[in-house]
Amino acid sequence: MAVPFEIEVEELDRRRKVGDDLLLLDVREPWEHALCAIDGSLLIPMNGVPGRVADLPTDRDIVVVCHHGGRSAQVTMWLRSKGYGRAINLDGGVDSWARRIDPNMKVY
């Protein structure tokens, strides 16, 4: 089964609750991550991903997260071009997560 390019926040929330083995890769800047982040996410700013790509697993889904979904979409496309076929963009980013899943999360 082909892995979709994008995932909605509700589907990510469902998959986390059932214990799916996925990696959340937050590609925002450290100052953004300090404001708010989805629990358990790994912070590697977008410009640092190429230098750390070997640290990422190829055997599980990697959900790429940013503020609104633009940077993460670029990183998802780049990862897929490097053979990470299980990279998935989080549609709407942490902003959608805060607004639709975790109302206690800070928005910026």
Residues noted as catalytic: 66
How buried is 34 (Cβ within 10 angstroms: 0-12 exposed, 13-18 middle, 19+ buried)?
A: exposed
- CA 4 to CA 100: how far, in whole Å? 21
How buried is 45 (Cβ within 10 angstroms: 0-12 exposed, 13-18 middle, 19+ buried)?
A: middle
Judged by DSSP in three states, 63 sits in strand
- CA 100 to CA 79: how far, in whole Å? 27
